Every structure is written in C-alpha cells, then in structure tokens.
C-alpha cells in the first residue's frame, strides 16, 4: 500500500510539474477553407543537351512539355527570361532558392540524348518550396520521329505528379475534316494528336461521313457513312485503313454508333418504318438486340464505363431529354430536368459525369451533370456547340463549334469541366465531330 502511494505521489508530482508546459504548448487550431484556384506557376528550362546535335530536339521537347501543361489552364509557365540560373547538367543540384525567388512552384529538369535516329529523354520534377523531388526520375526512348510522343509522355507524367490524376497528352483524336462552303462541304475522317499536330486522313471525300467514334482500345473507329445514299455504320481499322460495313439489324438508316468499353459490342440507332430505336450488335456473334421499343425517337446511346447502363436521348416526353436504362434495355429513367432540349449524352470514363449538348434560348451549350441528373453545369455557350467527347482522364471535354454564315466553319475546342478553361484546338481545316481516343501506351 505504501509503495502504491509513493508511486502515485511521484506520478502526480511529475504530472503537476509538466502540466503547465503541456498546456502552454497546446496548439492553436484553425480551419481554413475556400482556397484560391490559380494556375500553378512552373518552370521548364530548355532540356539539357547531352550529345551534340540534339540542341533543337531538346528545345522542342521542352517547348511541347510546357505547351501541354499550359494548355490545360491549370498551369502558368514562367518565361525563361526570368530564370536566375539553370542547371548545366542533369545531375546538378537544384538551386531551389533561385526558383523560389521567381515563385516557381514546380520545376521540370530534363535532358536529351540523340544518337543516330534514336532519342532518349529523361526528366525530374521538383516541388520547389519543399526542395523535394516529386516521384522519381524517368526516361523515355524511341526514334527521333517520335519526339512529340516522348514530350507528351513527359508532360503526362508531370501532370500526373502535380495534379494527382492521369494526363491526356499522349492521345489522339479522330474527327471529321471539313472543307468547302456549307452547301457543298467535303467531309472525310482524319486523325491527329490531341493538340492538333500530326493530322492524317483516314478516308477520302467521296462520301459524307459523320460521327466517328474511337474504340476504347484506339485501334478501330466507328463512323456513319452515306456511301450508299443512306446512313450506314462502318468500322475502320486505324492501322490498315481497312473498313467494312457493320452488319446491323435490318432498317432504313443506322447511325450514332458507339463501342462498349470492351470493344466487343456496338450500340446504335436504327430507323425502321419511321421509328428510331436503340439496338445493340455483338461483333463476335453478329447477334442483334433491340433495347428500346417506343414510338418516339431514341438515339445517341452511350455506355457507362462498367457497361451496365446506357444513357441516351429520347423525345418521348415531347422534347429531347436524357434517359438512362440498363444495358439490356428495360424501362428508362429520365435524368434531365431543366428547361431546353438535351442531346448527345456521353458517359465520362470516370463514370461520375455525363456530358451533353443543351439547346436553350437559341443557344447551344456543352454541359455536364451527375449520372442522376443533379449538379448540372453548362460549360460553354454559342450559336452551335455540339458533339462532346471526353478526354481519357475524364477531366476535359472536346467538342466542335460552328460559326454563322455561308462561310461559317466548324472548329474544335476543349474545355476543362472543373475550371471552365476553354481552348481552341488548331486544325488545318474545318473540323467537327471529335472523338477522343484512349491514352496511348
């Protein structure tokens, strides 16, 4: 008993001695909300040349990396004229104080080696204010002709390490290239890098083509062609340009196709006897299934990422609205509830949003809503905005905008769904109906 008493006494005495200090060091607790949403300032010095003759390549790669990041609207490039110092070699210690002085929060240091036709690019990303590297260094190698892809790869990695989500720079877009006046416009399929570079044509202008849709694997393209005088769905192999007509169910017109996530099924609209419904065709078995049976027009179907549901457009309520049904059909549920006419829904690859076109008050909008129809937000507005397509990371939407008048042309734009940053995608001619392919490997 006495021992217990003494131990308790000592503990209490010790606690009494320490308590005032503990109380005095009790931290001040605050809650901070409402952060600012400013682009992150970053610096990309010209990549270091490790072999003679790679000077141009080093500058070009650094430029493309910077353009990729800046083009998102999430980053702001600090001009090289502001740099206090630049690393001479890839292994040089980073003078963080010099970069802090110009308020660079992220720093990308890279180096280029070119031997013959082979190029190697390596890089590191630094958090300037903590003086630490974000992730580990990485290097890519390939042929000199593929330097843009390597630059996009570097930019994707930098984007991912800073934002926490995958990038979308090393990806391609298939679209309809348009030339000529509106009443005699030639249309053909084309493919390009996400930023408008490396445009190549997939078809000639002998027949009108519409609404190309990349397969989730990026190896095939569905599109609607008027070669026969009626709209028919074709499948085109990107690598060989081989194409064939999709064997759909019997009908007058087949259009608005889209792949399932596994690329094994195609859903589309089929018009028979003046009525348009949604059908599904299994590419392996050739079997068809009618998913809707309504006297109204059902079109523009799009699978959810898990393939379990389909969002589509229907005017069964009197005006075009958005509905969701099971991938096997069944009773649809309307999700759009606002004023105006909704169309061309596309499910985000993340599964969280549905992009759509909305016509309201004589203007067209590209917008997004949750899959239950809530949280609708309109991102754009113009005389004609149409054809939304998601970037592989589900953060950006590309669409086309058509200007007014006889000589009005269609152009591609991209918009960040969170920031609303709008950017025009340069193309050598008019462009419409974009379809964003997957991130390349």
Partner 1 sequence: MSIGGYVSGTGHALFVLWLIAGWGLESEPLPFEFTEISVISAEDFAALSGGGQPDLPPSDPPAPVAPLPFFLVPNTPAGGSPPVPTEAPQATPPPEAETPPQPVAPTPPPAEVVPEAPPAPEPPAPFVPPPPDPSLQTSPRPMPRPAPRVAPEVVAPPPPDAQLDEETQEATQEAETPDVPAEAQEEVEDTTAPEEATDRIVTEADIPASAPETSIRPPVRPSRPAPQTGTDDAPTDTAAAEPEPDDAPDGAPDDALGDVLDDVVGDIADADAASAQPPRQGLAGGTLSASVLDGFKGQIRECWSLGSVSTTVLATRVTVAFSLTEAGMVDTSSIRMIEFEGGSQADADIAYRAARSALVRCQSYGSRSGYDLPGDQYDLWRNVEIVFDPSTM
Q: Which is nearer to partner 1, 7 or 326 (CB)?
A: 7
Exactly one of 49, 50, 133, 360 binds partner 1 (CB under 8 A); that residue is 133
Out of 92, 115, 262, 328, which residue is the one contacting partner 1 (CB under 8 A)?
92
Rule CB under 8 A: say whether 144 interacts with partner 1: yes
Binds partner 1 by CB under 8 A, chosen from 52, 79, 136, 285? 136
93 interacts with partner 1 by CB under 8 A: yes
For residue 65, report the phi and psi dihedrals to the nearest 5 degrees.
-60, -45
Least Å distance, CB 172 to partner 1, is 7
105 binds partner 1 (CB under 8 A): yes
Site residues for partner 1, window 225-254 (CB under 8 A)? 237-243
Range in contact with partner 1 (rule: CB under 8 A) among 194-202, 251-259, 285-293, 368-376: 194-202
Q: How far is Cα 387 from Cα 399, in angstroms, rounded to an integer?
A: 5
Least distance from partner 1 to the Cβ atom of residue 155, Å: 13
Residues 406-435 that bind partner 1 (CB under 8 A): 413, 418-426, 428-429
Binding mask 18-57 for partner 1 (x = CB under 8 A): -xx--xxxxxxxxxxxxxxxxxx--------------xx-
Interface mask toward partner 1 for 259-298; x: CB under 8 A: ----------------------------------------
Q: How far is the CB of 359 from partner 1 (least distance, A)?
A: 15
Residue in 422, 433, 258, 419 with CA at minimum distance from that of residue 349: 258
Nearer of residues 73 and 251 to partner 1, judged by Cβ: 73
Rounded CA-CA distance 63/360 in Å is: 40
Task: Determine the Cα–Cα distance for residues 69 and 295; give it in Å rounded to an integer.
Answer: 48
CA distances from 197 to 190, 192, 224, 429 (A): 12, 6, 25, 12
| Distance (Å, whole) CA 171 – CA 114 | 24
Closest distance to partner 1 from the beta carbon of 20 (Å): 3
The Cα 335–Cα 302 span in angstroms is 14
Phi-psi domain of 8 (left: phi exceeds 0; alpha: psi -120 through 50; beta: other): alpha
- The correct pick among 7, 82, 84, 85 for binding partner 1 (CB under 8 A) is 85
d(CA 390, CA 119): 31
E-state strands within 208-352? 209-214, 220-225, 232-237, 243-245, 253-259, 265-272, 275-282, 288-290, 298-303, 309-314, 321-326, 329-334, 341-347
Stretch that binds partner 1, among 196-204, 258-266, 268-276, 292-300 (CB under 8 A): 196-204
Span 342-381, contacts to partner 1 by CB under 8 A: 378-381
Closer to partner 1 by CB, 94 or 253: give it: 94
Candidates 318, 271, 317, 309; CA nearest to 290 is 271
Number of Cβ within 10 Å of residue 39's Cβ equals: 15
Q: Which is nearer to partner 1, 195 or 298 (CB)?
A: 195
CB of 126 to partner 1, least distance (A): 8
Instruction: Name which of 323 and 347 has its Cβ closer to partner 1.
Output: 347
Compute, in degrees rounded to 10, the torsion defined by CA atoms 238, 244, 245, 249. -100
Other beta carbons within 10 angstroms of residue 110's beta carbon come to 26
């Amino acid at each position: 008993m006495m021992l217990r008493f003494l131990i308790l006494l000592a503990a209490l005495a010790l606690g009494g001695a320490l308590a005032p200090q503990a109380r005095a060091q009790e931290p001040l607790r605050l809650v901070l909300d409402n952060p600012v949403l400013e682009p992150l300032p970053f610096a990309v010095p010209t990549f270091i040349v490790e072999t003679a003759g790679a000077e141009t390549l080093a500058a070009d790669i650094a430029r493309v990396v910077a353009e990729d990041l800046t083009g998102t609207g999430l980053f702001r490039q600090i001009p090289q004229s502001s740099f206090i110092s630049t690393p001479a070699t890839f292994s040089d210690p980073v003078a963080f104080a010099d970069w802090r002085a110009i308020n660079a929060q992220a720093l990308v240091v890279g180096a280029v080696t070119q031997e013959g036709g082979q190029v190697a690019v390596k890089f590191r990303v630094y958090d300037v204010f903590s003086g630490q590297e974000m992730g580990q260094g990485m290097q890519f190698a390939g042929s000199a002709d593929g330097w843009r892809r390597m630059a996009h790869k570097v930019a994707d990695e930098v984007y991912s390490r800073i934002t926490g989500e995958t990038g979308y720079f090393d990806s391609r877009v298939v679209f309809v290239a348009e030339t000529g006046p509106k009443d005699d416009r030639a249309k053909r399929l084309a493919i390009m890098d996400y930023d408008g570079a490396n445009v190549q044509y997939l078809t000639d202008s002998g027949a009108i083509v519409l609404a190309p849709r990349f397969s989730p694997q990026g190896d095939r393209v569905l599109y609607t062609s008027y070669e026969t005088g009626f709209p028919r769905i074709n499948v085109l192999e990107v690598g060989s340009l081989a194409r064939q007509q999709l064997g759909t169910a019997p009908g007058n017109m087949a259009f608005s196709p889209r792949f399932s996530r596994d690329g094994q099924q195609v859903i589309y609209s089929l018009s028979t006897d003046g009525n348009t419904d949604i059908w599904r065709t299994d590419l392996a078995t050739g079997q068809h299934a009618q998913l809707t049976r309504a006297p109204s027009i059902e079109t523009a179907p799009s699978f959810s990422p898990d393939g379990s549901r389909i969002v589509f457009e229907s005017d069964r309520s009197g005006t075009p609205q958005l509905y969701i049904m099971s991938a096997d059909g069944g009773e649809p549920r309307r999700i759009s509830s606002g004023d105006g006419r909704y169309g061309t829904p596309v499910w985000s690859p993340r599964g969280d949003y549905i992009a759509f076109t909305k016509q309201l008050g004589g203007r067209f909008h590209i917008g997004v809503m949750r899959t239950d129809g809530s949280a609708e937000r309109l991102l754009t507005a113009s005389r004609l905005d149409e054809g939304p397509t998601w970037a592989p990371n589900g953060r950006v939407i590309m669409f086309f905008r058509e200007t007014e008048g006889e000589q009005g042309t269609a152009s591609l734009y991209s918009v960040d769904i969170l920031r609303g940053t709008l950017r025009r995608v340069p193309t050598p001619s008019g462009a419409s109906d974009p379809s964003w392919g997957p991130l390349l490997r």
